[in-house]
Amino acid sequence: MSGKIDQNKKEWWAPVNRSLISYKNYKSIGNAIWLYLYFLLYADRKTGILFRKYKTIKKDLGVSKKTIQRWLKRLRKCGYVVDRNLGRGLLIVLKRQI
């Protein structure tokens, strides 16, 4: 690590409750944890709301649109998020801030 900060690269962080890494949560969320963590990074910290296009998520995470849809379905089913397709992108509301 050189100590220099690349001004063009944004470094983001988000607080995560330690219960997220529990076996119970892993069983329900599975690999969709990556999408949930992505949402945590980009959601408004006060409201838990974010707007994203599939194309942007695909580029950022390096997974297919099909994988994103599958993970999103799992997050929705388990009560982690509520989402709405607005045509130009997704409106996502984080429900379980764990």
pLDDT digits (tens, 9 = 90+) for 11-64: 666 666 666 666 677 778 889 999 999 999 999 988 999 999 999 999 999 999
CA distance linking residue 54 with residue 26, whole number of Å = 24
Query: Cα dist. 35→5, 7, 23 in Å?
Result: 26, 26, 18
CA distance linking residue 21 with residue 67, whole number of Å = 21
- CATH class entry, domain 32-94: mainly alpha
Burial of residue 95 (number of CB atoms within 10 Å: 0-12, 13-18, 19+): middle
Q: Where are the domains of the chain?
A: 32-94
pLDDT tens digits, one per residue of 61-76: 999 999 999 999 999 9
